[in-house]
Structure 1
Amino acid sequence: MRKILLAAALLAAAPFAASAAEPMSYTFVEGGWTQLQLDRNGADSKPKLDGGYVRGSFAIAEQAYVFGGYSMVSKTHTYDLGSYDLRVKQELKQPELGIGYRLPMSDRVDFTSDIAWLRVNNEAEYEADGFETERYKEHTNAARVTLGVRGKPSARTEAWLKAGYIDGSDMDGTWTGTLGGQVNFTRTWGLVGEVQAYDEVTQFSVGVRASF
């Protein structure tokens, strides 16, 4: 947690180039590939589930915005049980909705804060030849609060760093950190990348963003 706060302070204090740049937009849509990696208490096995995501943000006032997103990742494992194969498919779906606030710290750096509702839907399907398919479902509702900074190191790039806390109905409260960036090709289009970590989960995302 101390490392996240130190990095946020360094980003906020970094000398930004004086060249002309488009202002940061809080109205955008994006989508792309995402991967969820599970640590499982430090075990050697770290399952990786791949999939896609979409999300967007809309500025409702000069300093306020609403946002939402949806991601789905899955992984299928096959186990040889001798007389038959067992196929296990795990699927995680995560919708979220929230509202945020930005406070300009300079022409190129904003302080940001947000609060969001998110839901983790975990589904597992067990299938084997000659047996009836079995499905199990569970879900967790949670709230997340974050504080961070977002800035423009150059006319064509952005970077953001956030630290926060997540707590939910079927999970222990835990700290979370997010590091992301964008490279703009045009005024509208950009390539974004982000990594988010909390508890035993690390999520990587790479996508394309259209800003308005």
Structure 2
Amino acid sequence: MRKTLILAALLAATPFAATAADGLSYTYAEAGWTQIQVNDDYLNDPKVDGGYIRGSFAIAEQVHVFGAWSTVSKKYNYADGSLKLELNQPELGIGYHMPMSDRVDFTADIAWVRQNVEAKSTYDGFGTVREKDHTNGGRASMGVRGKPSPRTEAWLKAGYLDGSDMDGTWIGTLGGQVNFTKAWGLVGEVQAYEDVTQYSVGVRASF
């Protein structure tokens, strides 16, 4: 931890002529489809699908704020009723970026993450029963973001996630974008921690 703080201080104190690698924007909005897969033999490796929205806004030359919200759900039907599971995940954070070359940025961010879970059970003749739970956590990560070519982009991050009612765990993110125009692109991302893998595909508008 001490070495990380010293490195961050040195990076913050170093002047740079550029604010970001060429073609990389830290102000954007995106939305799309997402799926969460859980590796659990007892539950037969469940998958839940839904959607997400995400945005980022540059507030200084090398600093940006970001937020995201995703919701996934799945319904199980039985002979005498049904069960619907729903997971909502909001996220708010702040990030820092530093040019490493004309095409690559070093990135670092911290974020508040919340997981809201709701189970709704419906049984014939007994009505509906709802149960809710939530947990709050924090995530810190570092990585790189760059442009392999004028119309493509890629990013890789590694970090640590911890919080109330959850065990601390390492988390990794791999993503990319293919640009149709300077402003519009198709994005894809994979995020994994412990036995959970989240896949996302969406459309991004950069400004």
TM-score range (shorter-chain normalised) is: 0.7 to 0.9
Map of 1:50 onto structure 2:
49
Task: Please show how residues 90-129 of structure 1 align to structure 2 within 5 Å.
Answer: 90-129=85-124
**1:136 paired residue number:** 131
Corresponding residue for 1:13?
Answer: none
Alignment correspondent of 2:182: 187
For 1:177, the aligned partner's letter is: G
Residues 149 and 178 (structure 1), Cα distance of their counterparts in 2 relative to 1, 3 Å cut = same
The aligned amino acid for 1:33 is W
Please tell me the residue identity of whatever aligns with 1:27. Answer: T
**8 Å contact from structure 1 (residues 22, 155) kept in 2:** no
Cα deviation, 1:65-113, whole Å, max 9, x if unaligned, reads 0000100000001123xxxx22000000000000000010001000000
Superposition TM-score, scaled by structure 2 size: 0.88
Alpha-carbon distance, 1:44 to partner: 7.1
Per the TM alignment, residue 176 of structure 1 is displaced from its structure 2 partner at its CA by 0.3
Which consecutive unaligned segments of at least 5 residues does structure 1 have?
1-20
SS at match of 2:158: strand
**Residue number among 131, 156, 162 corresponding to 1:161 in the alignment:** 156
Identity of aligned residues (%): 69
For structure 2, the residue ranges without an aligned partner over 5 or more in a row are 1-20
User: C-alpha separation between the residues in 2 aligned to 1:187 and 1:164?
Assistant: 30
Decide whether the 8 Å contact of 1:117 with 1:142 is kept in 2: yes
2:167 equivalent among 169, 172, 175: 172
Q: In structure 2, what is the equivalent of residue 71 of structure 1? A: 70
Q: How far, CA to CA, are the matches of 1:162 and 1:176 in structure 2?
A: 8
2: CA distance between counterparts of 1:185 and 1:109? 20
- Per-residue deviation, 1:200: 1.6
TM-score, structure 1 length as denominator? 0.86
Q: What amino acid is aligned across from residue 155 of structure 1 in structure 2?
A: P
Aligned partner of 2:83 in structure 1 is: 88
Number of residue pairs matched? 187
For the aligned residue pairs, the C-alpha RMSD in angstroms reads 1.3
Between the aligned partners of 1:72 and 1:147, the Cα distance in structure 2 is 25
Instruction: Output one character per residue of 1:45-66: Cα deviation in whole Å (capped at 9) or x when no partner.
Output: 1111100000100001111000
Q: CA contact under 8 A between 2:22 and 2:102: conserved in structure 1?
A: no
Partner of 1:26: 26
Deviations 1:132-165 (A, max 9, x none): 2101000000000001000100000000000000
Greater length-normalized contact order (CA 8 Å, ≥ 6 residues apart) = 1
Supply the distance in 2 between the matched residues of 1:127 and 1:157 (Cα, whole angstroms): 47
Distance 1:22 1:96, change over 3 A: same
